[in-house]
A = this chain, B = another copy of it.
Amino acid sequence: MAKRVDHDQRRRQIAEAVWRIAAARGLESVSMREVAAEAGVSLRLVQYYFETKHNLLVLALRYLHEQGEQRAQARIAELPDESARGALRSVLTELLPLDEERTQSLRVHIAYFSRTHSDPELAKVFLGEGTPIEDLVTGLLSAASLVPGADPRHEANLLVSGITGLGLDVLHDRYRPDEVIATLDYHLDRLFGTAGA
């Protein structure tokens, strides 16, 4: 054989260049040449490892999702025996762009969003399988002792979707992070019956 380099690492290095460009200037600025320059490699190398641009975009998104899942599982493992409310708060604030990594990840997802409508392969990677976050939140709500009449599924759906949407608003400077977190805490208070102080 030959110089046996770590292909997977190389691919990941190039994929991260895609993320940076997509987050900063959108997917329309992701060209093979731009990616090569951002990753500090030659155009030919990008071609070599990904063959086609479509492949590059799909794999870059797949890697991002894998990284996201790893991070999510790490965070879940981090909160060992917290209260149900604390766990919920952690899971939901995890959806917000509160640090550079999550901000970039959110920006990349936004950049990909519209393409998922015309590209089924991207849509598959983008959407993943099932609704793991909603399921997790539903499970946490089901296990907790909520205010009577609260339905875990419906509450989880609006919470996850709403917090995600407010996270996008944070990116647009429509809200500050602490405002979103205040809204989240308010709703957790209402659900756990700890509101009327």
Contacts and interface: CB of A to CB of B under 8 A. Distances in A.
A45 interface: no
How many copies of the chain does the oligomer comprise?
2
A89 interface: no
Given A25-B118, A117-B107, A172-B116, A183 B154 contact: yes
Interface string A1-42: 000000000000000000000001111110000000000000
Given A131-B174, A165-B164, A172-B127, A114 B158 contact: no
A22 to B, nearest CB: 8
Nearest to A111: B114
A76 interface: no
Interface in A124-171: 127, 131, 148-151, 154, 157-159, 161-166, 169, 171
Nearest to A109: B114
A29 B186 CA distance: 43
A26 B118 contact: yes
18 contacts: A26-B117, A28-B115, A110-B113, A110-B117, A111-B114, A113-B113, A127-B174, A149-B195, A150-B190, A154-B186, A157-B162, A157-B166, A157-B175, A157-B183, A158-B162, A161-B163, A161-B165, A165-B165
Given A131-B174, A157-B166, A161-B163, 14 more contacts: A26-B114, A27-B28, A29-B118, A107-B117, A127-B174, A149-B195, A149-B196, A154-B182, A154-B183, A157-B162, A157-B175, A161-B162, A161-B165, A162-B162
